[in-house]
């Protein structure tokens, strides 16, 4: 069956649009990580591409919209990875350690994503460490998975809201310390966080 000229042209346009959008996202990721949200302009972003200056606005209406697109991309990818390992866990220890290891490994392997999120935590004038829609969604999913694990009997009956908050706090704090070190060692960070957390939980429960 022959393919029409219009279909071929439409396909090329779709590929070009995706390539252009990806180029803008990659450039913005670098700019936000290096300069920070407040210091970055649309011109800074587009200069890091081979695109014409007006092309940016065919895909995004502001630097905020491209920042939000990047945050959504990072958050969606990381949240799925975390849900997958939590749902495969069969013990309290494996639930906790796999989650920490996945979280730390993601940022160790994607330093530019870490730099983007860290350098822009206060972009709205508030502490963004455990704020933002992606973080809140991730913590809500963790809360749900903890409830399920307790119902299945391999996590003891604990205050799930306190447990969620403490796991998030430990992960955020140790991540920052790990990312300052060379070489990056997500396995050591995960083992330390797990021992710290599990010792506290088991001490509390005898």
The pLDDT tens digits of the residues spanning 50-106 come to: 999 899 999 999 999 999 999 999 999 999 999 999 999 999 999 999 999 999 999
Q: Which CATH number fits domain 70-204: 1.10.10.10, 3.40.50.10860, 3.40.50.2300, 1.10.357.10?
A: 1.10.357.10
Fold of domain 1-61: Arc Repressor Mutant, subunit A (1.10.10)
What does the radius of gyration of the chain's CA atoms come to, in whole angstroms? 21
CA distances to 7, 22, 71, 80, 126 from 66, in Å: 30, 11, 9, 21, 20
Is the pLDDT at 190 greater than 80, yes or no? yes
Which residue from 112, 105, 119 is spatially nearest to 186, judged by alpha carbons?
105
* CATH 1.10.357.10 domain residues, the chain: 70-204
Is the pLDDT at 45 greater than 50, yes or no? yes
* CATH 1.10.10.60 domain residues, the chain: 1-61
Beta strands in 22-179 (DSSP E): none
Q: Where is pLDDT greater, at 124 or 16?
A: 16
Cβ 174 vs Cβ 104: under 8 Å: yes
């Amino acid at each position: 069956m022959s393919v029409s000229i219009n279909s071929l042209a439409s396909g090329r346009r779709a590929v070009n649009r995706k390539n252009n959008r990806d180029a803008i996202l990659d450039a913005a990721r670098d700019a936000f990580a290096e300069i920070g949200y407040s210091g970055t302009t649309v011109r800074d972003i587009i200069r890091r591409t081979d695109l014409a200056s007006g092309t940016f606005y065919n895909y995004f209406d502001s630097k905020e919209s491209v920042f939000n697109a990047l945050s959504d991309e990072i958050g969606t990818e990381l949240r799925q990875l975390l849900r997958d390992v939590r749902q495969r866990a069969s013990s309290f220890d494996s639930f906790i350690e796999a989650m920490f290891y996945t979280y730390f490994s993601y940022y160790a392997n994607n330093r530019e994503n870490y730099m983007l999120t860290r350098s822009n935590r206060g972009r709205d004038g508030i502490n963004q460490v455990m704020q933002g829609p992606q973080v809140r969604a991730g913590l809500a999913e963790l809360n749900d998975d903890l409830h399920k694990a307790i119902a299945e009997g391999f996590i003891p009956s604990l205050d799930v809201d306190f447990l969620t908050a403490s796991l998030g706090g430990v992960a955020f704090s140790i991540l920052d310390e790990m990312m300052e070190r060379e070489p990056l060692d997500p396995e050591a960070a995960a083992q330390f966080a797990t021992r710290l957390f599990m010792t506290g939980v088991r001490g509390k429960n005898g």
